[in-house]
Amino acid sequence: MEVNNRYITITNHIQGSAKESDFELKVVPLRLSVEPGSSAVILKNLWVSIDPYQLNRMKRYSSSQKTIQYAVRITPGQPIDSPGVARVLVSDDPEFVKDDLVAGFVHWGEYTVVKGGMLRKLDPEIDLPLSYHAGVLGMSGLTAYAGLFEICKAKKGDKVFVSAACGSVGNLVGQYAKLSGCYVVGCAGSRNKVALLKEKLGFDDAFNYKEETDLNSALARYFPDGIDIYFDNVGGEMLEAAVANMNTCGRVAACGAIAEYSEGAKRAAPNMVDVIYKRIKIQGFLVTDHMSLHSDFLSTTTDYIHNGEIKVQEDISNGVESIPSAFIGLFRGDNVGKKMVKIADE
């Protein structure tokens, strides 16, 4: 049997901000069969994750492209892989059989052919929506969990600042921190998002960074006793201001730098005298370095969700055609929570 596989790719390497004309929808035939001994698996994609780090893969050059497999440069015309959830259609891999539900790296399209890829069979005992495995129970959730607890060693009483706090990772960092007895302040880009953080997600306070003329003074106002942990999703001037307000032995989890992804953006230049004399730890990390935490993370987070202690935030678009606009919207701050695209019914 043969089907038409529709997928999104880039038309050229992107310099500066992404725009609709940088993407195209391709249609290619795909035979739903695999060669014996190939260990190949054909997946029907159900949900795909939309993440800002992909912009660095779409550039002609980024220093990130040589660091790890999932950060390699994307070739125009080729499928774009991303975390997602799928159903197995055909398998020559003994670990997977037809109709298994899996999470892993799939394409921004309707089907994916995987050979030796990082796939994980979903536990049928986890009675939660499949979309959660592309977000709160997937890479975004584990990133928040690992960054807060493994990198920053959060403990009760810590004063925690989270940037991009309404994003896929930030909103979870804040909720985990509150559940651990921390004082938590987040920043976001609209009054509605600020209200969500305080009224629904339980942040102690929040502010709209677009309304602040002096970020250093703003953080001093929200943290009169200083910041112990800064979970950085943006880089740029926000990192500089956070470092200026850090306490001695403060910890910074450098998770993302969305403010610096576009060409010509201002790069962060934190005061290194503060870093040295206040013994501040600034550590970059990748979620794939912390897969050993996955079992604890999944168990803890599933319990929190079932108990209503974590409020899941999803921002969903529908259909392959919506992927470019969903991606571009990340850089305008359109999303509230985890941005993902529903490709097909479950």
Structure confidence by residue, pLDDT tens digits, 259-292: 888 766 678 899 999 999 999 999 999 999 999 9
Q: 49 lies in a domain? A: yes
Where residue 313 falls among pLDDT bands split at 50, 70, 90? very high
Q: 302 lies in a domain? A: no
The token duo for 117 is: 């890829």
Residues 18 and 120 in one domain: yes
Q: 295 lies in a domain? A: no
Determine contact, residues 173/231, Cβ cutoff 8 Å.
yes
Residues 165 and 277 in one domain: yes
For residue 74, pLDDT over 80 is answered with yes
- Mean pLDDT computed over 295-316: 98
Where residue 194 falls among pLDDT bands split at 50, 70, 90? very high
The burial of 243, by beta-carbon neighbours within 10 Å (0-12 exposed, 13-18 middle, 19 or more buried), is given as: buried
Q: What is residue 288's three-state secondary structure?
A: helix
For residue 293, pLDDT over 90 is answered with yes
pLDDT at position 118: 80
Residues 283 and 151 in one domain: yes
pLDDT at position 264: 62
Residues 82 and 100 in one domain: yes
Residues 27 and 165 in one domain: no
For residue 195, pLDDT over 90 is answered with yes
Strand boundaries in 116-173, DSSP class E: 119-121, 159-162
Q: 298 lies in a domain? A: no
Give me the DSSP letters along 171-219: HHHHHHHHHTT-EEEEEESSHHHHHHHHHTS--SEEEEGGG-S-HHHHH
The per-residue pLDDT of the chain, averaged, comes to: 96
Residues 24 and 128 in one domain: yes
For residue 262, how far is the Cα from the chain centroid?
17
Residues 237 and 283 in one domain: yes
Q: 224 lies in a domain? A: yes
Domain housing 103: 2-136+312-342
Residues 121 and 158 in one domain: no
Q: 17 lies in a domain? A: yes
Task: Name the pTM for this structure.
Answer: 0.95
Residues 121 and 209 in one domain: no
**CATH number of 84's domain:** 3.90.180.10
Q: 307 lies in a domain? A: no
Residues 204 and 71 in one domain: no
pLDDT at position 268: 83
CA–CA distance, 138 with 150 (Å, rounded to integer): 17
Where residue 341 falls among pLDDT bands split at 50, 70, 90? very high
Residues 262 and 180 in one domain: yes
Residues 225 and 322 in one domain: no
Query: If residue 139 lies in a helix (H) or strand (E), which one and from where to where?
Result: helix 139-145
For residue 212, pLDDT over 80 is answered with yes
Counting the structural domains of the chain, the total is: 2
CA–CA distance, 345 with 56 (Å, rounded to integer): 30
pLDDT at position 267: 82
Residue ending a domain, among 288, 304, 329, is: 288
**CATH number of 203's domain:** 3.40.50.720
Q: 198 lies in a domain? A: yes
Which range has the worst mean pLDDT, 159-163, 182-186, 249-253, 342-346? 342-346
CA–CA distance, 76 with 13 (Å, rounded to integer): 7
Residue ending a domain, among 242, 273, 288, is: 288
pLDDT at position 263: 61
Count of alpha carbons within 13 Å of 273, Cβ hemisphere only?
0
The 10 Å Cβ neighbour count of residue 212 is 15
- Tens of pLDDT, residue by residue over 95-146, are 999 999 999 999 999 999 998 778 999 999 999 999 999 999 999 999 999 9
